[in-house]
A and B are shown apart, each in its own frame.
Chain A
């Protein structure tokens, strides 16, 4: 099985409101897969179903070859997750956060020390390791959160709007980290509403009001819609819907 994620008619309803409407797609291993859409298009709902935070109303999906209904807990060992809300403990230091999340994923103390040290080196954050997280700037926190989410070397990492509110330079650095993770063989599933970021993905899917209206590589989508940027693609699709 080469697919990291498969989804078949995955649907979530809240009362009469359909948050995601029968979305179907799959993600290859090692791919950087972008999930695009306006706020409220259903991106976060989709990611929550795949990570086991939310139970789908209907449809099927597998993550790392495991069924999301029956094997939700096993899936959790295989994935990393970085949520929309900031997810590290603000009142704990950088290394305490690393130790805690490493420990939860069952890493040995020696592994935590070694991998954590490496990550901090790469982030140039070794000198702030004993600072409390709430004293760091937002961009640093996000990079740290990503490092923590991939510390246990998951097969797949889910990033929900990881670059929201971050300055352009840090966003750039953040995407370098994503590429590096992909090179190491980690599948990256990332949601964003920054259209320029979509260009960095191997493939993207576009969601509008709970429906998945497109899913292909950025280049293919641009030529299909005769557009020069993903932003144009998005605007054209949105207009067609109306």
Chain B
């Protein structure tokens, strides 16, 4: 192991001498974090709603004003021509339109069931759902004006009250999750891309052959390759969290040392996986392709952008093998919920086992002798 310091020094020199790569390692991720963390918002505001009011009664105007006062909707009146309204949906000039039938007020007061029709542009899935929820909510809460004698005494039903409370994030601020989550994704991407290109680069240049005739051992070699990226990724996480705290004021409820310990183990998996890809491939291009393939899957199935619970059960089982999903879960648990070691022990175990397996295969698969 006395060779290790020399190997590490060489790797660090090579990383830090590459002036074109340094900004990509350190600046691009931070800039992306600061910008993109603002993008991942499912909350919908300013839904452009057309209303065609055939009733034109005091009640219908009352209902319209409810929509006008809602923070979610932006109301524009458009004629009663159904086709014209559809055309506006087609042209993406409106997001939805509500049709109030001409007997609206009358039916309400004469105790007939009233159905309001809401046509929604279903092109944006989540937006469409929320549009419906918000509109239905307003409509359910609507009660007609009691302006005639018969209505007095007959209570119009008061809908049951449902009071939501949001734990760990009372303001429902999506950035609380997205900042650490996107940071996790970026750190993962940097680490895996760099490590996957590393060994294969020496193959392409030809220096690997020279190394293979030296007494360097496989374990020394893999550690030498892994350690620098491991340090860089941890530093990057630190920088990112600092920015997240300073700029977005993300909550850090749990213990940072615990988070960093977990990240340290987790990075061994991702970097080891990168090196494994590097030992299998022959060109940097292939290595990048393969890591890209896995990264896209890891990231999109990591539970950050769309919830894992919504996936079909076989796909959920696939995520058991997705290290990113554990990392994001632990970030959520430690940073937002303040979970301690006991709560996340299981994840430590799983990720630790993954690290062991992946790196063993990488070491085994790195052959000093070919063919």
* Residues of A near any B CB (own CB < 8 A): 14, 51-55, 72-73, 76-77, 79, 81-83, 85-92, 96, 99-106, 158
List residues 1-49 of chain B with CB under 8 A from any CB of chain A: 2-3, 5-7, 9-10, 13-14, 17-18
Cβ-defined partner of B369 (8 Å) among A52, A81, A99: A52
Q: Which of these binds chain A: B80-88, B183-191, B205-213, B326-334? A: B205-213
B257 within 8 A of A: no
Sampled A-B contacts (23; CB under 8 Å)? A52-B213, A52-B369, A53-B209, A53-B368, A53-B369, A53-B370, A54-B369, A72-B368, A76-B214, A81-B210, A87-B210, A89-B207, A91-B17, A91-B18, A92-B10, A92-B14, A96-B10, A96-B13, A100-B7, A102-B6, A103-B6, A106-B2, A158-B213
B368 x A52 contact (CB < 8 A): yes
Bound Cα distance from A52 to B13, whole angstroms? 28
Q: Which of A87, A89, A106 contacts B10 (CB 8 A)?
A: A89
CB-CB < 8 A to B207: which residues of A? 87-89
Question: Using a CB–CB distance below 8 Å, which chain B residues touch chain A?
Answer: 2-3, 5-7, 9-10, 13-14, 17-18, 205-207, 209-217, 368-371
Query: Inside 8 A of A83's CB, which chain B residues have their CB?
Result: 206, 209-210
Interchain CB contact under 8 A, B6 and A99: yes
Across the interface, name the chain B residue whose C-beta is closest to A86: B206
Q: Are A76 and B215 in contact (CB under 8 A)?
A: yes
Residues of B near A52 (CB, < 8 A) are: 212-213, 368-369
CB distance from A114 to the nearest CB of B (A): 16
Residues of A near B217 (CB, < 8 A) are 73
Q: How far is the CB of B279 from chain A (nearest CB, A)?
A: 16
Q: Are A104 and B3 in contact (CB under 8 A)?
A: yes
CB distance from B227 to the nearest CB of A (A): 15
Cα distance, A54 to B214, chains bound together (Å): 14
Chain B nearest CB, measured from A97 CB (Å) = 9
Could you list 7 further interchain pairs (A-B, Cβ under 8 angstroms) beyond the known A14-B371, A100-B10? A52-B212, A55-B371, A81-B213, A85-B209, A88-B210, A91-B17, A104-B216
B206's nearest neighbour on chain A, judged by CB, is A85
CA distance A72 to B9 in the complex (A): 26
- Chain B residues near A89 (CB-CB < 8 A): 10, 14, 207
Contact A87 B209 (CB under 8 A): yes
Interface pairs A-B: 6 shortest CB-CB: A103-B6, A85-B206, A87-B210, A81-B213, A100-B10, A76-B215
- What chain B residues lie within 8 Å of A106 (beta carbons)? 2-3, 215
> What residues of chain B lie closer than 8 Å to A82, measured between beta carbons?
210
Q: How far is the CA of A96 from the CA of B3 in the complex (A)?
A: 14
Measured in the bound complex, the distance between the Cα atoms of B6 and A106 in whole Å is: 10
> Known contacts being A103-B3, A103-B6, A104-B3, is A92 close to B206, with CB within 8 Å?
no
Instruction: Tell me, in angstroms, the Cα distance from A55 to B215 when the chains sit together.
Output: 17
Which A residues lie within 8 Å of B215 (CB)? 73, 76-77, 104-106
CB distance from A113 to the nearest CB of B (A): 13
Q: Are B369 and A92 in contact (CB under 8 A)?
A: no
Chain B residues positioned under 8 Å from A85 (CB to CB): 205-206, 209
Complex CA distance for A85 and B204, rounded to whole angstroms: 10
B201 to chain A, nearest CB (A): 11
A103, B14: Cβ atoms closer than 8 Å: no
Contact at B214–A104, with CB atoms within 8 Å? yes
Residues of A within 8 A of B213 (CB): 51-53, 76, 79, 81, 158
